[in-house]
Structure 1
């Protein structure tokens, strides 16, 4: 029997129905969870409470998808025979039952059955009800009882086994375990002090006076962590004195050792967080400027928007251009410093974008290594003698980080690796070669890599 229209319409606008819909789009269409969440929250005009619950469920289910599937495997014998939306409905329900203690089971079960009726039929709703009643009685299958250590990390942290194996080979078992489980922790918002007229201590004091729960970053000397309060509502944010940026990426601009009159190329610039940080070191009066490149017009618009808000538009010039074509667009030795924040697999962002865990493969690392090398080769002739080439990624793989730098150095005898000064950051994140390598579990930030090279001749 079909649901009556009024009841059907109500359930289709419920948080749990919306969560299933978003998860379907992420899984089937490769949509980005953060972008889709923002769109749905706006289009549905959700209250802050409902928006918070929707965000918690969506991120929670994606972060723990493999854990949930293992937990449900006692009751769901062959998930491949079930429509994907049914699997997502079961995950959404099981996640709330296992991890959200404030939500009563009866509310979860009621909505699950109604969603199943709305999207399917009575038979499916009975099946969903049966599975969830079993979960309620017996609990989810316990991943901690898995004997094989690699599989236990893989299922418990919801990280594909091949990726667990990859990291064990690179950083060892204990560090891999810390890394994998750290990705289940909630990310926090961090900001960078942009204003040259305010110290970090002054910004901290002002934000605390406004009621924000804040602390200084243990990683970035200009960074602040926000633990409570919507920072975009702050007067400091509106006035362009601060900007949202992950702490690890705040370390990139200082590595260039910029002077007020530096002419800088930011070859992969969008959305402009690092670009505006570079511009903060420059002076328009001294003819310092950053030329910021991106391949997309709408991303260039983001850079310009950020530059205007942060009062550095007079030092930033934007250009729609593929970084691999930069060598054809500018004269040799045009720049004092060149930054390449290269396209990468993004594994350092797995806490913020958990779907990354399930869509990447080892071949991606090698394909991206090739693209990164092409970009470095393209921009190398544009750097003045004695200039710095700063290479960075938001990933954790050797192929995209150390291997890319070494491949470039091997093919350019006029460049040498310039070890990054330990004064910039904590020594524990500096490799023996002088690269910065930050893992998400080191400080609770995004993972990041920075290498610096100098053009000697």
Structure 2
């Protein structure tokens, strides 16, 4: 337990104070930890990052110092301890306080140790009152209450409230803090969805078929799934249901370009849906290209047309060559907060302006690669208007030879975690008519 708390503390510090990515830090930690210690580390580190604003609000009420005056590592220790006090069972309150104080001794001076002890003991005394006051949010404004309770910065709360009603936004923000299920795309070249579900069941994995995609399975408890022979032999690829749908919404193509292809989910799904199509898949870095090739190889799929290329740079060789261009554009990633909670804190609405310029440049190049009657499927793992509808509108103004083809009646097809049980996702189909 002690080593687990310390490992979680270091990960929290790397993510919140040094710009590291949570999933990458957890993957590194997994290499030298037992399964039980690793899962506890995941729970603590993820829980603290997800609930940062809620935890610091409680600390603020019991601290003699302003949060900015508290040493970052001591604040991390307090957040870790407060998270365990309120959200994890199995360890008595006094033990949580004791371990917090020991960590403070490791990273602070005598004053820091006394401060940590005093704050945690005061919070333990007030536990019932804290819960009764909804973590000191009962007398706040709507925006501040949602910000603290769901631990989203005020700027994002206000941002979503500009486009949606309160009930929708609150449900979305709360869903962002829930653990997402693992979703897999079945390799139908090797096995049917039903047969794979049976094989997984014999290995102890319960599954549920995805509702929108005919090729997916949800795995509610996936611990150990990626150590199975079924994974190593390429019987499935991890992919959210929203992303699976891209290939399924395309008209059957003969020649395809996947512009921002790594790590490979859309290329894989497209090869499986349209085995006779020639699919060219590129990305901007050698590491991404190697990862793409590795995933295709594991799935037993063609990697001969994988290439290194920057989608923002026009490629004359691709002019008018493709029936289908897949453009999964770099974006704010707000639809992935369930999986990457640090996005709430390392992205701002201001960042979207720069991203929309990149998206527009990519889309402008994609337009030059499509044949007449061909289509672009423009997708993002976010739900913002600026990165989707606004980018498409500007594109149509500059490219009157394209029209939007509705998907299930929507000009921009959107999925949301709280409503659809998927990652947040947007997709627009653009058809070249002349």
TM-score > 0.5 by shorter chain: yes
Q: Does residue 299 of structure 2 align to residue 310 of structure 1?
A: yes
How far off is 1:22 after superposition? 1.3
Give the SS at the match of 2:77: helix
Q: Does residue 141 of structure 2 align to residue 131 of structure 1?
A: no
For 2:290 and 2:249, locate their aligned partners in 1 and report how far apart those are by CA, in whole Å.
26
Q: Does residue 261 of structure 2 align to residue 269 of structure 1?
A: yes
Q: Which runs of 5+ in 2 are unaligned?
A: none
Partner in structure 2 of residue 365 of structure 1: 352
Give the SS at the match of 2:387: coil
How far off is 1:251 after superposition? 0.8
For 1:361 and 1:144, locate their aligned partners in 2 and report how far apart those are by CA, in whole Å.
23
How far off is 1:103 after superposition? 2.2
Q: Does residue 285 of structure 2 align to residue 296 of structure 1?
A: yes
How far off is 1:106 after superposition? 2.9
- Checking the alignment, whether the CA contact within 8 Å between 1:41 and 1:51 is kept in structure 2 is yes
Q: 2:338 aligns with which of 320, 343, 351?
A: 351
How far off is 1:451 after superposition? 0.4
Partner in structure 2 of residue 153 of structure 1: 146
Q: How many pairs align?
A: 427
Q: 1:23 aligns with which of 12, 15, 23?
A: 12
How far off is 1:88 after superposition? 0.7
Q: 1:447 aligns with which of 412, 424, 428?
A: 424
For 1:178 and 1:304, locate their aligned partners in 2 and report how far apart those are by CA, in whole Å.
38
- Checking the alignment, whether the CA contact within 8 Å between 2:388 and 2:426 is kept in structure 1 is yes
Partner in structure 1 of residue 184 of structure 2: 191
Alignment of 1:178-327 (within 5 A): 178-229=171-222, 230-259=224-253, 262-283=254-275, 286=276, 288-313=277-302, 316-325=304-313, 327=314
Alignment of 1:15-164 (within 5 A): 15-42=4-31, 45-76=32-63, 77-139=65-127, 140=130, 142-164=135-157
How far off is 1:147 after superposition? 3.6
Give the SS at the match of 1:46: coil
- Checking the alignment, whether the CA contact within 8 Å between 2:401 and 2:432 is kept in structure 1 is yes
Partner in structure 2 of residue 406 of structure 1: 393
How far off is 1:311 after superposition? 1.0
For 1:182 and 1:146, locate their aligned partners in 2 and report how far apart those are by CA, in whole Å.
23
For 1:146 and 1:376, locate their aligned partners in 2 and report how far apart those are by CA, in whole Å.
47
Runs of 4+ in 1 over 6 A off after TM superposition: none
How far off is 1:144 after superposition? 4.2
Give the SS at the match of 2:207: strand
How far off is 1:220 after superposition? 2.3
Q: Which runs of 5+ in 1 are unaligned?
A: 1-9, 423-429
- Checking the alignment, whether the CA contact within 8 Å between 1:143 and 1:155 is kept in structure 2 is no
How far off is 1:329 after superposition? 4.6
Give the SS at the match of 1:384: strand
How far off is 1:121 after superposition? 2.3
TM-score for both structures, normalised by structure 1: 0.90
Q: Does residue 167 of structure 2 align to residue 174 of structure 1?
A: yes
How far off is 1:310 after superposition? 0.6
How far off is 1:222 after superposition? 1.4
How far off is 1:197 after superposition? 4.9
For 1:257 and 1:120, locate their aligned partners in 2 and report how far apart those are by CA, in whole Å.
61
For 1:175 and 1:372, locate their aligned partners in 2 and report how far apart those are by CA, in whole Å.
27
How far off is 1:200 after superposition? 1.9
Alignment of 1:325-344 (within 5 A): 325=313, 327-344=314-331
For 2:339 and 2:242, locate their aligned partners in 1 and report how far apart those are by CA, in whole Å.
14
Task: Go from structure 1 to structure 2 and tell me whether the alpha carbon gap of 1:168 and 1:122 turns closer, same or farther (over 3 Å shift).
Answer: same
How far off is 1:370 after superposition? 1.1
C-alpha offsets along residues 359-403 of structure 1, whole Å, 9 cap, x if unaligned? 212221121111101001112111111101100000111000111
TM-score for both structures, normalised by structure 2: 0.94
- Checking the alignment, whether the CA contact within 8 Å between 2:29 and 2:38 is kept in structure 1 is no
- Checking the alignment, whether the CA contact within 8 Å between 2:329 and 2:359 is kept in structure 1 is yes
